[in-house]
Amino acid sequence: MVTKQEFIKDKKYLKLNEDGDFVIDYNSKIDIIDFHTHMSNVLPGKIVNPNIEGNQLKYETLPDMKDMDLSVPYWRKINPDEKKKGIISVIKFSLEGYKIFKDMANGGTYENCFKSQKDNMIKTNVVLPLSTKKSDRSMEALRLAKDYPNRFIAFCSVHPHDTEMKEKIYKYKTLGFKGLKLKITDMELKDDFKPLIELFKACYEVGFPVLLHTGSLTHIKRENTSNLMWKLLKSTKVEIFGKLLKELPSDFKFVFGHSGIAEYKLVAEYLKEFPSSYAELSCQSEDSIKYLINEVGYERLLYGSDWPALPQAITLSRVLLATEKNEDARSHILYKNAKDLLNI
């Protein structure tokens, strides 16, 4: 069994803190904006008070050390023959998602957040609520930003089927939100993207950049899945959002969350086609970040971690590796691009 200590021996920019968590190993001082984070009270389900102390994060999305591979997006060793057939696979997939959200809600507290910010030299977290049709978590995110204006920037989250969608977008702009975050699938929309396009247009009217979870697992073979499982795995594929951008103004600011995970090369093609789009880098590897820099430059790439789902240090260490010979690229990805996009 590989231990964390053994794992980080040859991993530049990574070390362990006193709690055994991954933290950044970097001495130069730099302002960092983490463009993709959440907190206890901005997640679906029961609201969890972020003031709770003593809750530990397990990072349920992080692979076991024996399965870790930081050279690939999402850092998991790939098994192309993996099988996901039958209702058991669907149930397991759903339970894994529930465990992730439960861990995020349990561990995404002020105490853990501020410690992670300190350990990793993060100046500001962009907090992204995850709202559903029946549960709007936007005001919880704004409360964080009002309580700690130097530590948090709040995005809102409005479901496209919300009957007050447009009114909320205009209201949230006046309240001080800086953009919109959404995680939605073609299955949830039932392949009717008109409400989502209308939501995007409302965001465009008020000047909100929009960040969506994008990307699917591309290594699993179609013949190794059931029809339902295949739809679940492909329900946020990058192609969906690339096609939607054709329906919007050319200067609409869209952010591909996670840079499409394993579909980062397709994200690069859309960034070329849509010059006002951005890629947020959580889950990406050193090589995939270098690929994006080489293909589209560094002026539209944003550092993000997906904390508390994942440690802030992991993707941060990948950005540092990918920009070792380019300080200008490093500063742009870690904070300058975020400041320009958010006008701060």
> Residues 259, 298: contact at Cβ < 8 Å?
no
Say if domain 4-342 classifies as CATH 1.10.10.60. Answer: no
pLDDT of res. 220: 77
pLDDT tens track for 274-323: 999 999 999 999 999 999 999 999 999 999 999 999 999 999 999 999 99
58 CB-contact burial (10 Å; exposed 0-12 / middle 13-18 / buried 19+): middle
Collect all residues with Cβ–Cβ distance below 8 Å to 65 and sequence separation of at least 6.
1, 2, 3, 4, 6, 7
pTM for the full model? 0.96
Q: Give the residue extent of every domain in the chain.
A: 4-342
pLDDT tens track for 192-222: 999 999 999 999 999 999 999 999 877 778 8
Cβ-defined contacts of 186-193 (< 8 Å, 24+): 186/235, 186/236, 186/240, 187/231, 187/232, 187/235, 188/235, 189/160, 193/240, 193/244
Q: What is the mean pLDDT of each run of 10 residues along the chain (344 residues)?
A: 91 95 93 97 91 94 92 89 82 87 95 97 97 93 96 97 96 98 90 95 98 85 81 86 95 98 97 98 97 98 98 98 96 98 96
